Structure 1
Amino acid sequence: MNMISYWKNHKEIHIDDGLVLIIGWYDHKNQQNGGSKALGVHWGDYPQSRAVLSPCVIPEATRSAILSGLLHQAVSSANLQQVKSITEAIEFFYFPA
């Protein structure tokens, strides 16, 4: 399925029973000159806009809580691949591109 053009350079960072978290640059209605770093969420092919996948943007405070919780879960379960993926997401948001 095609991703809505508002999301640029997106990457899946976590999949859990159909829930997909992505990171990338979100440029609402392509009016923000490239957009800003964002965490998004979708479920398989939902939500859609005109048959195009349209992930929801997670607010910054919630984003931090989600990434913190996922990192804790990954470390607690010794899931090194998940640790790497979540760490990359954290670096995306907290270090300059």
Structure 2
Amino acid sequence: MDDGLVLIIGHYDHKNKNNGGEKALGVHWGDYPQSRGILSPCVIPAATRSAILSGLLHQAVTNGNLQQVSSITKAIEFFRD
């Protein structure tokens, strides 16, 4: 999380059409975005997801933040399986 930005990894099943969904990265910050008053994270496309995770990993390594390195590495591994 950075300045209220939260990344979420998990399975996303748009309108319950994919029997459990596909692995996805979601993003939200604070109480945005919402749909009908319910927090609704934005789902990030795969190519953008890779760029975001790569950039965050580089930043965490550069800053020496081992906790962030571990969290981001776990997210990258989630999408490799």
Is this a same-fold pair by TM over 0.5? yes
Q: Which runs of 4+ in 1 moved over 4 A?
A: none
Higher percent of residues as helix: 2
In structure 2, the residue matched to 1:62 is 48
Find out whether 1:91 has 2:69 as its counterpart: no
- Which whole-Å CA distance do the structure 1 matches of 2:19 and 2:65 have between them? 37
SS of the residue corresponding to residue 33 of structure 1 reads coil
The letter for the 1-side match of 2:60 is: A
Aligned with 2:64: secondary structure?
coil
> Percent identity among equivalent residues?
81
TM-score with structure 1 setting the length: 0.80
C-alpha deviation, 1:22, in angstroms: 0.8
Write out per-residue CA displacement over residues 12-64 of structure 1, whole angstroms, 9 at most, x where no aligned residue.
Answer: xxx11011111110000111100000001111111111221100010100000
Structure 1 unaligned regions, length at least 5: 1-14
1:28 partnered with 2:14: yes
Give the TM-score taking structure 2 as reference length: 0.95
Question: How many angstroms does 1:86 deviate by?
Answer: 0.1
Q: CA deviation at 1:87?
A: 0.3
**CA RMSD between the two structures:** 0.7
User: Secondary structure in 1 aligned to 2:20?
Assistant: coil
Higher strand share: 1
Q: CA deviation at 1:77?
A: 0.7
Q: Which runs of 5+ in 2 are unaligned?
A: none
State the match for 2:66 in structure 1: 80
- Give, in whole Å, the separation in 1 of the partners of 2:74 and 2:33: 25
